[in-house]
Amino acid sequence: MNEGEAKELLRAERARVEGLLEGAIRSGLDDRTAASEPGNTSDSAEPLASELTDDAVAASLRDRLEAIARAEQRLAEGTFGRSVRSGAPIADDRLHADPAAELTVEEASRKV
């Protein structure tokens, strides 16, 4: 995969994940606001469960942004498209599916 294509894939993935994170944060704020409204007679566990779900989704998306940042760093260093474990090339098909991939398919499927 050439550098320009890699940059574009990472840019698009970053934009996608940032949009999802913004939505998860907004949803979490909405859930917290709704739960604290006067006269709310709903099950108190429901808003808490929604808040926890929103928080978990946001944490996962932040982890994804960190993975994208690591991929961008590898691109800058000239090691993008190589396994961080073995240095073996990561297939272009895998990088198209997940531009932040750090391992080959074989390495990712092995039990560590």
As given in the structure block, the two tokens for residue 78 are 């000239």
Asked if residue 32 belongs to a domain, the reply is yes
- Name the CA dihedral angle for 39, 45, 51, 52, rounded to a multiple of 10 degrees: 170
Residue 101, pLDDT score: 98
Angle in degrees, CA 82, 84, 89, rounded to 5: 20
Residue 51, pLDDT score: 75
Asked if residue 104 belongs to a domain, the reply is no
Rounded to whole angstroms, how far apart are CA atoms 27 and 58?
10
Residue numbers of the domain that contains 45: 3-80
Residue 50, pLDDT score: 76
When pLDDT is averaged across residues 41-69 and rounded to a whole number, the result is: 83
pLDDT tens by residue, 69-110: 999 999 999 999 999 999 999 999 999 999 999 999 999 998
pLDDT tens by residue, 31-44: 666 656 666 555 56
Mean pLDDT of the chain: 88
Q: Which amino acid is at 40?
A: N
Asked if residue 86 belongs to a domain, the reply is no
Report the number of distinct structural domains present in the chain. Answer: 1
Residue with tokens 């926890």: 52
Asked if residue 91 belongs to a domain, the reply is no
Rounded to whole angstroms, how far apart are CA atoms 28 and 20?
12
Asked if residue 70 belongs to a domain, the reply is yes
Asked if residue 103 belongs to a domain, the reply is no
Asked if residue 54 belongs to a domain, the reply is yes
Determine contact, residues 102/84, Cβ cutoff 8 Å. Answer: yes
Residue 89's alpha-carbon distances to 16, 17, 35, 48, 82, in angstroms, are 26, 25, 50, 44, 4
Asked if residue 93 belongs to a domain, the reply is no
